[in-house]
Structure 1
Amino acid sequence: MALVITGTGGIHIGTSSSPASVLNQDTPEKSVPLQFMMDGEVVAWRVNRDYAAIECYQERPLRQSGTFVLVKSVYKPDEQDESSWLTLYQLYMHIAPLSEFPKRPLYRVTQKGHGVRMRKHSRHDDSREIVPDVLANKHGHARMLMQGETLTVLQQKSFLLELRPEPFALVQRLQDGKPAGDLFWVSMRPEYLEPDGECYVCLPEWMHHALNHGVFDDVVVPSAPLKVTVKAGDPVGFLGAQDLADEDNYPQIITTDYKAHIELLSLDEHVPDVVANVKGIKTGKQFIKLKLKRPLYLRNGEDEESTFKQMSAITRADAGKIIPRDATYPFTDKNGVTYFQIRPHTWMHQDDVEQLSQHDLAELNFHCIEAEHTTDFTRTLDERWVIDALKSISSHFDSEKGPASAQAKMFYDSLIHNAENRRPPDPYPDKSLDELLFGALHTNQMNIPEYARRLIVKHDSDWHSTREDTRWSSVFTVRDESPVVKMANGGFLDVTRWMDKVPPFASQRSVWHFHPLEFPEILRSAEFPKTPVNGELTPIEFIHFYNGDKIDDTDYEEAAKELGCEVAAIKAVAKTENGPYGSYFKFEDNDDYVPAILFERHHFHKYTNGKYDQFEDISNPVAGGYGATSIQYAKLIKAYALDKKAALKSASWGKFQILASNYATSGYASPEDFVFALSKSEKNQLKAFVSFIKADRVLLRSIRTKDWLSFAQRYNGPRQKGYDLKMERNYNASL
């Protein structure tokens, strides 16, 4: 028996697509949380201590999670014009309750524990017998515990130390009441560590605020002083369990699924105006849309001497196709006419395409539908908005586009005709048309998934509902449902209801529903620098466009004055670090300048505790395997998809090849800020270098005295290979 209650406009995330998002009780740190899609402010939540237990005459109660978080985000297409802004709400429902999060013991470092050495953690520790190596700081000295600091013990294990078994613990430091930072091993001797309570692990930041707030199993609307903000990519939580009973079997079988439900909502009345771009905003990402029955062109020649010859072929099946403008390699000929490459060796004239911005949502196939109020939540396929949705999809097909498009047009027109002439609903409707309607909205053919994802529908939400709601009477009153079905569905409504307790939703049951992945993706306003990655020009979202500012003699002189060293010494370091490539990479005519980097896999291994060592090219306890300059961004992006902050910290950046892990001593608040600034300007790279050198007495003394060996051992590591000699040569050459 599956619950009949299904919200429209949302998506389910389950174990088939995100198996690692189920919280592992034994090794929770290996689980992967769901992530917020957009920046925003948490405006409501409900954190359940445990799953709700829905009694419905089964061998045991059915579990259901009503834990949710609601995040308010404001999309600002024009920062200066508030009337253009759109308020959106991200809903994450059915996420794991507090009971799913394991607790781990806390220990405080004693006086005798002060100075105990910290040891490396890796994914191979389960099979390890000998104690792991000691962790070293950037100066090569052992990292040690401090008296009074609190550690979270995640795992206990015995290792051989000097041939004798010794108890060790895998720990994380406690910061602001929660485990944070690197994992490492320490001796578990009782004279070093004393018990100090327990704490939850893997709890998302917003849930820590909820925990401190102290209200559970009820909807919370935090007051203004308790402002909880989130960033896109921050953890939401983990998949919650849902028990389902198969009523058709005896004895009845209860199965458990893990899932979360995500919706993107808005109450703004001007959603249709935003979609129609009545403000005429043309900034942001640009696209072209191919017109029907327009000629195609062949390009002859290269560079500014290129000419374009019209071919006999015209657009048919391609008509309506939308392509990012940058992907078409726009070329303007000597007559000022721009052509766009829609596929290899095939171009189109500027008059034969629509040129659109990301704000031209209607032309990008987003379509608004306002539904009438629902009378029966179990029969939403009978509602008029479904016909409007089918008509919207049908409008993309035309016999002029070819046989396949003509057949699709006939199919949808026939389906629309049948839906419009459908008999009034009865308690036991024929489900065959339902199946056709559902299939027509969910088929994966002919770009229909995108058309369906770009429907924006305003309709009643069932998050207001109770079992007394007349819109559920077909389940609880009229229809001859079994007691099991009634109790299961009634329990579901009781557990998940929230809207009537959250202003401004409490007064408005009809809500705009957007596809929660499609719509945010089109709204991402920034255009990012592009560089070749695995043969394709790829936008790099975490860097800024290079503004062209270069370091001049005055900059070098001021930096040398601040450091108390020679200009030639700074230039020697720069030339040694960036070699022939300079401060920025540029590989092709069509790519952008991106900061010169070197990705260092052993750092990524360190910052992720070996979690991704199966990808040996980007995570490895052994340094090396750097590869060519041309593959550095491919490595970085691969790592960035796994752990954003760790990836950025694992690359050295710019003219002076400073690791982003040194962001603080380089003068920045975060690795992201460091990377953003160094990508923007060569001058910023020099400023970061000066700050970094000033923060280290050995480096400062070495560059002043031109002690290149000491400098290289500190700057490049104790195992530096000839960097000191290169610096000395480059210094002498610049005199």
Structure 2
Amino acid sequence: MSTGLLEQRANYPRSQYEYGLGGHGTADADNNGRKEIDCSNLLNRMLRDAGYDIPYKTTAQLANDTTYFDVIPLADVDVNGGDIALWVTRGHTGVVEDLDANRVKGNFFGSQTSTGPKSAKFGLNSNYWPMPDKFLRPKAQYKTGGQPTPAPAAPAPAPAPAGPAPLMTFQYPIRKADGKQFTDAEEIYQALGAETSGHYLLGCNKFWHGGIHITDTSAPQCVLNEPVRCMADGEVVAYRLNDDYLESTFGDNEKKLKYSNSFCLVRHEYKSVPNPDEGPNKGKQNTLNFYSLYMHLLPYQRYPLAETERPTPKVTMTVNDFKAYDVFPEANGTPSPGKLSTGTKLEILEQKDVGNVTYARGKILSGSVKNVNRKVREAGAEVWFAYLKNGAPYQNSEPKNIWTADKIVERLRPNYWQGKVKATVVNKLDLYADPASPQNGQPAGAKLGNLQLITGSVVEFDSKDVLNLTVNGVTRRMAKCTKISGDLAGAGTAPSSFWACVENQRDYRILDWTSLTPTSFNTVETASTGIKAGDPIGYLGLTENITSEEGGVNSKHQVHVEIFTAEAGVKDFLKNVAGLKSGKQYLHLAVGVGLKKKAPATDVTPLKNQHAVDLSKAPVIKEGTEDWYEVSVIENGQPVSGLIKKTEAEIVTQHDWEKLGFQIVEECNTAADGFLDPEDTPQFFKDLFAKIDTNHNGEVDAGELAEALKNAETRDQWSKLIAHHPTEWKDKADAPKWSKLDQLLEGSPKTLKHEKERIDEMVFWDDLTGGAAIGNGIGVITHFHPVAIISNLLPSNRCFCFEQGIVNSPCQVGFRDVTKEHFELLAMQLGVEREVLRAIAVAETGDKVPFKEFVAGKQHAAILYERHYMYRFLKVKGYTSQQLDDLSTTEPKIVHVYQSGYSYGTEQAQYERLLRARELDKDSASKACSWGKFQVMGEYYSQLYESVDELVEAQNYCALQHLQYFKVFLTKEKNMLEPMKNKNWLTIAKKYNGANQVGYDTRISNAYTKLKAEW
């Protein structure tokens, strides 16, 4: 009986898929039009397509599985097409297509490293794949329909018990031009430093301003390529979508100025982790319900790319035998320096015809022109080449197009617009019962047995019904759907309606939303639509502003972003009433705390302001028998440094908002109208306001504030202000709160009329009805700086694995060790036996958990400090030979030339030497250590990290970063794959441990032998 696997090959054409380690075939990570999939995931999908209910298995798990698969001996004549071929030592698998009569060669279909899903040869004369180590056959009993069909009247199963609620995730509202996340708040503040207006708290005409403006000055990528992103998991409670730009009138129809009042309002319900500590606070959580607002978004009709927005064409060469020219080859015999290499990418700058052939002038973006094997033109050079023939892509004699065009990426459309969605299934779609509680954050319903819709099926749902539900502890966007077309993967009948995952983001795509037509424009629509941090909100909209009574105009693309809460318990939240001690740690330095000078000095400098110092940036030093934190702060623009005794230091965490400097500011005048009157504010705000008022006229203008915010000390204080004041989105222009505007623009009647017209169009507060209503409706709310609050809510760790694309979402806690599966994945990726890789870990660190606690409660990677490396690095830094000799005499354990037989001492001694070395030169000291499970030297940091600090942070946090650093060391630095594949132990030892290695080759060889027998 056929297994049914071969029949699934047509579902995985190479035009739609490519190889990608760990790829599930659901996402196109590099946006080249093909989804990444590896061999084991391809097999899993083919099994599911064929109707088998078999869980995903890695190649290593397949090798030992007898529950779901039968092992078919090679001698068995029953081995045939549709069985599974498995190369255990090479970590590869695929589906047998045929096997010759002598059982020495054949063909199989699988996801090949070089090509993606494709047929390949194995066995005799294959040139690469030997005969498989095993042949497997899926057991028929696990194929849907292999068992009697259950009675249709059976009640839907109850949903599985809910696990712990997933923690809310957070992201900054914009990303960098390359699509990567901003590393931290400082990096995004640097970008926003280009803004000249629209700053937090102080708006135009001196009214309170609850948000920040992000414009095309600081984020030009958000006009076309990078959408504004949702800042936290939550639900869209209201939005307004313009069909096109609105126009306001200046004067007597003198001018029409475009603007957008499109907005999206999201509600977020934050709950911290429960307090795990025994005592009265056990189980308590800090909570805060808050909102994020995104105003002035791009109108609907502007989403398709205008001709002026379409990027210049980019193509990639698929052949290597077509000539390049330095000049337009108008005449026969035009000299050519060489031929364009396969894979060369060019940007098309110009086109000219010669007869029916169009030549293009292209700028080489990557790749080269070669003359035989010598590169003669590289990236940056411009060359001409045959581009079109009779208006179609030029073809060679096969005929095959000689280039492929890059896909032009359209703007991403938000998913919260209300309307009917038709979507195509891109991966088999599991069907679910109704959730017990159809509300955001609740568990999904139970799976409807093994019911799945096949790839290519079309479903329909209403976007307003999308909810964030938890599936196996992960938040997924789900909705109630109906089937338009398509079939079940196995036997049974699809219900008339069902719940399903409707994710359609690039990083996790279950459905392709082929159409979503909004049903409403230019009016406020209330909603309850689930949305996640990082989901697209929209793009910057055009705003044309009047600059003078004479009709001057400036224009910019912008979004107004704000975060606010209507809750009365903000002060409790800031005080960390749950008593949490987890998360990022800081030294809290209260006003009056004294910083002692280093010995022999005895001076003490009392601090005039409160400070919170990142604990990771406060090294511990010894004076006598006591430990001291060494800190440095800025006071009134001047650096102040000194020591604070460790036993007397107060440690706080990211949950202690108040002690981190966050302060509530509100006017004490009960008649506060939204106009910022500093005289009615607390003294700390008056002092800060006066500091920013550099011309001492009692007012702060946009220029003064923009300049002040370039100072890190002032920016930190300003961004931690939490302002309680009336919202600007409630009252129309005839309300008393705007009467101040009449005074301010008394001499500019046309400008006043224009501004009032826009105010009337912008407000929306009173349209928030039902579940969208905010607080008591009066519109006095508490605002946070959106960057500052998100920065402090983000997990204390930085997930480098997420930034490097190794995992799909940021982790809350790093891996403590490298697992067997991690070794297997790396082995498959490199084509090296897993035992060879792990043997190096055995030799370097005994294959133990690669972390220590040199300081109680602080995880640190295992290290070995190399004093002769420090000698070399300091010499490069400019230390003289005499200085180095003196250090070698006074501190021989810190700086010294290489000395055979040197005893390194204990692990604790290594750490203490690192601390002392950092006092000489911080980066050199960290580079002079070998790090983590595989003990790779820090000097190679630039192969994976932007800085030495990044190396230290990543290695101290997660064992997967040890594995990734090991990988780039092997492949980019030492070119070690061939000796590792061949198990040339001596070459491996010399490359990894140096030419002077003694017995290292024997240690890794012995470790390999033992692992082969026992692992």
Q: Which has the higher contact order (CA 8 A, sep 6+)?
A: 1
Query: Would you say the 8 A contact 2:726–2:780 is kept in 1?
Result: yes
For 2:238 and 2:984, the matched residues in 1 are separated by: 57
Deviations 1:129-157 (A, max 9, x none): 79999xxxxxxxxxxxxxxxxxxxxxx99
| Mapped partners of 1:88, 1:103: distance in 2 | 34
Shift of 1:69: 1.6
SS at match of 2:301: helix
Aligned pair partner of 1:294 in 561, 576, 594 = 594
- Distance apart, 1:209 and its partner CA: 11
**Which amino acid is the alignment partner of residue 434 of structure 1?**
E
Is the 2:236–2:266 Cα contact (8 Å) retained in structure 1?
Answer: yes
Q: 1:297 and 1:478, CA in 2 relative to 1: closer, same or farther beyond 3 A? A: closer
Deviation at 1:334, TM superposition (A): 10
1:160 counterpart = 2:428: no
- Report the equivalent of 1:96: 298
Return closer, same or farther for 1:271/1:209 CA change in 2, 3 Å cut-off. farther
Spell out the pairing of 1:18-33 with structure 2 (5 A cutoff): 18-23=219-224, 31-33=225-227
The answer for the alignment partner of 2:676 in structure 1 is 381
Correspondent of 1:544 among 798, 805, 813 = 813
1:90 maps to amino acid:
S
Q: Which has the higher helix share?
A: 1
1:341 matched residue in structure 2: 630
8 A contact 2:667–2:677 mirrored in 1: no
Q: 1:579 to 1:726 in 2, by over 3 A?
A: farther
- Per-residue CA deviation, residues 496-518 of structure 1 (Å, 9 max, x unaligned), is 21222223327131000111111
Partner of 1:572: 836
Structure 1 unaligned residues grouped into runs of 5+? 24-30, 106-115, 134-155, 182-200, 299-308, 395-406, 416-431, 534-539, 596-627, 640-652, 655-675, 685-711, 713-718
Is it true that 1:11 corresponds to 2:212 in the alignment? yes
5 Å-filtered alignment, 1:51-66, equals: 51-57=245-251, 58-66=253-261
**Which residue does the alignment assign to 1:510?**
780
Aligned to 1:145: none
What displacement does 1:361 show? 1.8
Whether 1:443 aligns to 2:745 is: no
- Whether the 8 Å CA contact 2:675–2:740 is kept in 1: the answer is no
Q: Which AA in structure 2 matches 1:242? A: T
Q: How does 1:167-566 map to 2 (within 5 A)?
A: 169-171=405-407, 211-223=516-528, 227-231=529-533, 233-249=534-550, 252-290=551-589, 292=592, 294-296=594-596, 298=598, 309=599, 311-316=601-606, 320-330=610-620, 338-343=627-632, 346-350=642-646, 353-371=649-667, 380-382=675-677, 385-388=680-683, 390-391=685-686, 393=688, 432-435=697-700, 439=704, 443-444=708-709, 447-475=713-741, 480=746, 482-502=748-768, 503-505=772-774, 507-527=777-797, 544-548=813-817
Unaligned runs of 5+ in 2: 1-196, 198-202, 276-282, 308-317, 320-340, 350-359, 366-389, 413-420, 427-503, 633-639, 804-808, 864-935, 948-953, 965-969, 971-975, 987-1003, 1011-1015
**Shift, 1:391, TM fit:** 4.3
State whether residues 596 and 602 of structure 2, in contact with CA within 8 Å, keep that contact through their aligned partners in structure 1: yes
**TM-score, length basis structure 2:** 0.42
Contact in 2 for aligned 1:9/1:457 (Cα 8 Å): yes
Q: Is the 8 A contact 2:233 2:532 kept in 1?
A: yes
Instruction: Identify the residue that residue 860 of structure 2 maps to in structure 1.
Output: 592
Contact 1:381 1:434 in 2 (8 A): no
Conserved 8 A contact 1:529-1:592: no
Counterparts in 2 of 1:314 and 1:468: CA distance versus 1, 3 Å? same
Distance 2:649 2:608 in 1: 11
* Match of residue 725 from structure 1: 982
C-alpha distance in structure 1 between counterparts of 2:513 and 2:230, whole Å:
16
Q: CA separation in 2, counterparts of 1:483 and 1:632?
A: 65
CA displacement at 1:84 relative to structure 2: 2.5
Distance 1:630 1:484 in 2: 65
Query: 1:375-397 deviations in whole A, cap 9, x for unaligned?
Result: 675x7133655455524649xxx
Determine helix, strand or coil for the equivalent of 1:289: strand
Name the residue aligned to 1:68.
Answer: 263
SS of aligned partner of 1:49: coil
Secondary structure at the counterpart of residue 571 of structure 2: helix
Distance 1:281 1:211 in 2: 44
Aligned-partner SS, 1:22: helix
Structure 2 distance, partners of 1:328, 1:124, is 49
For normalisation by structure 1, the TM-score amounts to 0.56
Q: Which amino acid aligns with 2:291?
A: Y
- Maintained 8 Å contact 2:208/2:675: no
CA contact (8 A) 1:530 1:592 kept: no
Alignment check: 8 A CA contact 1:277 1:361 kept: yes
Conserved 8 A contact 2:816-2:849 = no
Residues 128-143 of structure 1 mapped to structure 2, 5 A cutoff? none
Contact 1:71–1:89 (8 Å) recurs in 2: yes
* Counterpart-to-counterpart distance in 2, 1:228 and 1:209: 19
Distance 1:479 1:311, change over 3 A: closer
Given residue 983 of structure 2, which amino acid in structure 1 is its aligned partner?
A: K
Q: How many angstroms apart in 1 are the aligned matches of 2:747 and 2:723?
A: 30
Instruction: Note the alpha carbon deviations across 1:696-715, whole angstroms, 9 max, x for none.
Output: xxxxxxxxxxxxxxxx9xxx
Q: Match of 2:982, SS?
A: helix
Q: In 1, are the aligned partners of 2:549 and 2:750 still within 8 Å (CA)?
A: no
SS for the counterpart of 1:323 is strand
| 1:691 matched residue in structure 2 | none
**Aligned partner of 2:394: which letter?**
L
Output the CA distance in 1 between the equivalents of 2:287 and 2:756: 38
What does the per-residue CA deviation read over 1:590-623, in whole Å, with 9 as the maximum and x for residues that have no partner?
873499xxxxxxxxxxxxxxxxxxxxxxxxxxxx
* Deviation of 1:267 (Å): 1.0
Distance (Å, rounded) in 2 between the aligned partners of 1:320 and 1:293 = 9
Amino acid at match of 2:698: L
- Do the aligned partners of residues 496 and 173 (structure 1) sit closer, same or farther apart at CA in structure 2, a change above 3 Å counting? closer
- Post-superposition Cα deviations, 1:351-394, rounded to whole Å, max 9, x if no partner, equal 554322222222222111343678675x7133655455524649
Task: Map 1:596-611 to 2 at 5 A.
Answer: none
8 A contact 1:131–1:159 mirrored in 2: no
1:530-557 superposed Cα distances (whole Å, 9 cap, x missing partner):
99x9xxxxxx9758334357769xx99x
Rounded Cα–Cα distance in structure 2 between residues aligned with 1:467 and 1:208: 41
Distance 1:390 1:41 in 2: 34
Give the Cα separation in 2 of the matches to 1:203 and 1:50.
27
Q: Which residue is equivalent to 2:23?
A: none
The 1:346/1:389 distance shift into structure 2, 3 A limit, reads closer
Q: How far did 1:272 drift?
A: 1.2
Q: Secondary structure at the match of 1:433?
A: coil
- Counterpart AA for 2:816: N
Shift of 1:324: 0.9
Report the Cα distance in structure 2 between the residues aligned to 1:36 and 1:275, rounded to whole angstroms.
23
User: Aligned partner of 1:126: which letter?
Assistant: I
Inter-CA distance 680–268: structure 2 relative to 1 (3 Å threshold): farther
Highest CA radius of gyration, 1 or 2?
2
